[in-house]
Structure 1
Amino acid sequence: MEFTMGGRLEVRMTPADVGKRVSLRRVTGDPGEGPKFTDTVGVLTSWDDEVLSVTTRSGESVRIAESTLVAGKVVPPAPARRRGPAASFEELARATARAWQPVESELLGDWRLRAAGGFTRRANSVLPLGDPGLPVGEALGRVGRWYGERGLPAYVQAATGAEGTQERLCADLEEHGWRREVTAEVRIAALAPVGDLAADVSAVRMSREPDDAWLSRYQRFEAPGPHVLEVLGSGPSVWFASVPGDGPAGVPAAIGRCVVDGRWAGFMAVEVGPEYRRRGLATAVMTALARTALDEGASAAWLQAETDNEGARALYDGMGFATHHHYHHFRSA
């Protein structure tokens, strides 16, 4: 990382650059042991009282004392990804939302408040794609009351790491006492290579609705009430896949869900029973769903994987999925 001008390190930015992507170098460590330097790249989300706050691609908020800076400058947005289809953050955010719809929703300016009886954070959180029409603190107060009336915790889903994402909002949420609870990657890929994987799909069964057997493998609820079925069935064109198990209980060995929406195919709920893992069943489910989506005219794929799910991330790496951005669920204090 280079910050030189005439051989001298410089800080070439001001508080007026809040909201821009920056690259900083600061002194860290014990001064008695000699200077050590740490570099930080992200969006400058505040510069107050001689302290800078930078939100990184992964959503981490880094606070930096102005007195420790030795170099800093505004840098261009992160370069476009070379793998996978071209996609903007807003296009993907809207596509992912259409594939997992709430039971009820309400607009607060450009923020959409979503609820589904507490079934998943995605269906029970605010999707803030624009201006709420109120100061952020006041808007968050309205959000808290709306979810409180429904007996639900208040969550806001905010994204980082791509052009047009919401680093400033993440910083505002933290400033108002909201805390990041979960972080996930939104990954994208060309769809045809997924459909072309050398997987045995002969045992994969496809259906338009989740039957009792499918639901018995998808254990994200105590009982699959109407709100669960409504969320799972939501989306422009929804498909469910399952691979029968070899036990007497009728629980599938593996399941998956796909929503086809124009050029996009979104993959969700890909699960394999612990006793059936390492048999290629997740790949078979993904491949079968991809082929169905290709038949419906889709050409691009997306999915979401929590950052601590190493097994899923390794699987999707092998299929050619690349991280487009991160999203985070912030919960009110």
Structure 2
Amino acid sequence: MNAAEKLEIVCAKAWPALVEEPLGEWVLRWADGFTGRANSALAIGDPGRPVSDALRAVCDFAHARRIPPAVQVVENSRLERAVAAAGWRERVEHSAGHQVVVLTGPLPSGPAGGAEVLDQPTPEWWELAEGTAEPGPAQRHVVTTGKVGYGVVLADGTTAGAVRGALVDGWLHVGRLAVSPAFRRRGLATTALNALADWGRGHGAERWVLQVAAGNAGALALYSGLGCSEHHRYRYWGPAPRTCEDREP
């Protein structure tokens, strides 16, 4: 298993689906439609059968749970070429962006005044990071499972910034960074990330990993300024018409 595949497994552990079933070394995942990562098959390693048969199993799993069939696969890998050869296509309709850049870097040290990392998400954190103060069971499972910290930045008496960090195998996985529109361009995103980095360092992490849509230029620039660089990319693939017997939900 190469470095990109190993890091994909770390990221998957940091964002666990409500249902996970092994398919050889692949993992079938379902979380009631909450995020592509938690509702696609992680195609890493050997599925224990021909790739075309594994993709049929992905279809069956997805159809039974009323989600679109999809696989998450390292870009330009042997497996991605095999998925393409089986008649699947890049899932460009994925709303968050079908091509994702995985960034890594050392944890930064910087000012974190006004920010703290909580052990539990507050209703205000949920509202800012996820757009709801009442998450459903699958959403709550994905966001709260594991050793997780919830960064918040307070400004003018309100939660103006939010971020999530999960500790996995010595890595700090960062996600769900959000700043309220009324408080943007004040450096609050960096403040939240610095606080989360301090928290991660205090729990034994030395490096962090982030998954950012390739089209999100602002986020990529922010993380680059904090010392992150591209490790690899992955893409979502889905069945072409008739490849999955047209049983889309």
Same fold (TM over 0.5): yes
CA–CA separation in structure 1 for the residues paired with 2:223 and 2:171: 17
Q: What is the 5 A alignment of 1:20-59?
A: none
Residue pairs, 1:216-255, within 5 angstroms: 216-219=127-130, 224-235=135-146, 237-246=147-156, 252-255=159-162
Tell me, yes or no, if structure 1 residue 202 matches structure 2 residue 113.
yes
Match of 1:301 among 208, 217, 232: 208
Pairs within 5 Å for 1:181-196 = 181=92, 182-191=98-107, 194=108, 196=109
C-alpha distance in 2 between matches for 1:205 and 1:227:
26
Separation in structure 1 between the aligned mates of residue 184 and residue 13 of structure 2, nearest angstrom: 30
**Which has more strand, going by share of residues?**
1
1:145 alignment partner in structure 2:
60
2:178 is the counterpart of 1:268? no
Structure-1 separation of matches of 2:198 and 2:226: 14
Structure 2 equivalent of residue 42 of structure 1: none
The equivalent position to 2:222 in structure 1, one of 310, 315, 326, is: 315
Question: What is the Cα deviation at residue 244 of structure 1?
Answer: 2.6
Deviation at 1:222, TM superposition (A): 9.5
The residue number in structure 2 matching 1:158 is 73
- SS at 1:302's partner residue? strand
Deviation at 1:223, TM superposition (A): 5.2
**Alignment check: 8 A CA contact 2:5 2:44 kept:** yes
Q: Which position in structure 2 is the counterpart of 1:52?
A: none
Kindly tell me: are residues 326 and 116 of structure 1, through their superposed partners in 2, closer, same or farther at Cα, counting changes over 3 Å? same
AA at the equivalent of 1:329: Y
SS of alignment partner, residue 8 of structure 2? helix
Q: 1:257 aligns with which of 164, 187, 199?
A: 164
**Hey, what does 2:234 align to over in structure 1?**
327
Distance 1:179 1:223 in 2: 33
Q: Show the counterpart of 1:93.
A: 8
Which deviations, in whole Å up to 9, do the C-alpha atoms of 1:250-274 show, x marking residues without a partner? 5x21100111223211111111122
Which structure is richer in relative contact order (CA contacts within 8 A, separation 6 or more)? Answer: 2
Bigger CA drift: 166-175 or 291-300? 166-175
Letter in 2 for 1:233: T
1:105 correspondence with 2:20: yes
Q: Where do residues 52-71 of structure 1 align in structure 2 (5 Å cutoff)?
A: none
Match of 1:172 in 2: 82
Select the structure that is richer in helix.
2
Determine the structure 2 residue equivalent to 1:277.
184
Aligned length: 233
Shift of 1:178: 2.8
Q: TM-score, normalised by structure 1?
A: 0.66
TM-score by length of 2: 0.88
Partners in 2 of 1:272 and 1:331 — Cα distance? Answer: 32
Structure 2: give runs of 5+ residues left out of the alignment. Answer: 93-97, 241-249
Distance of 1:259 and 1:219 partners within structure 2: 16
User: Once superposed, what is the RMSD of the aligned Cα atoms?
Assistant: 1.8
Rounded to whole Å, the distance in 1 between the matches of 2:5 and 2:82 is: 20
1:215 match: secondary structure:
helix
> Given residue 180 of structure 2, which amino acid in structure 1 is its aligned partner?
G
